Amino acid sequence: MDRTKTLSRCRIPLLPKAKAILYKYENYPKNENKGKLLPINSNQRMNTYLKEIADICEINKDLTMHIARHTFATTVTLANGVPIETVSKMLGHTSLKTTQIYGKIIDSKISKDMKKLKSMF
């Protein structure tokens, strides 16, 4: 697919869970003639749903799609050893500096990397 904001081509291999979700919505009526793989709500609507989920779960943080990008960059990818260059491509960034803002390196990743380095010596 082509990214809307940067117009850059995007090709991302999917994890099995993501494939299962796509398969589940394969014949979902709202998808017809829209060229989308999933039923898509507006960003505003998604943020409203996230706030409702946060209230139900008693999460005292303002959940948004933007926060979801940060979570993906830090806890899903970088903390599990995915190189920042790869994360940058997945997020659709044209500059690595932008990804560095999203993907704050978390302490557990630093600790894991240092243990790996220590084992090499």
Q: Is residue 49 part of a domain?
A: no
CA distances from 76 to 12, 89, 103 (A): 15, 15, 10
CA distances from 84 to 19, 95, 100, 108 (A): 23, 11, 8, 16
Query: How many separate helices (H) and strands (E) can be counted in the chain?
Result: 6, 0
Fill in the amino acid letter for 47: N
- How many domains does the chain fold into? 1
Q: What is the pLDDT of residues 35-91, one digit of tens each?
A: 677 777 888 999 999 999 999 999 998 899 988 888 888 888 888 888 889 988 888
Helix, strand, or coil (residue 99): helix
Q: Is residue 14 part of a domain?
A: no
Q: Is residue 19 part of a domain?
A: no
Q: Is residue 27 part of a domain?
A: no
Q: Is residue 93 part of a domain?
A: yes
The H or E element that residue 91 is part of is: helix 84-91
Q: Is residue 47 part of a domain?
A: no
Q: Is residue 18 part of a domain?
A: no
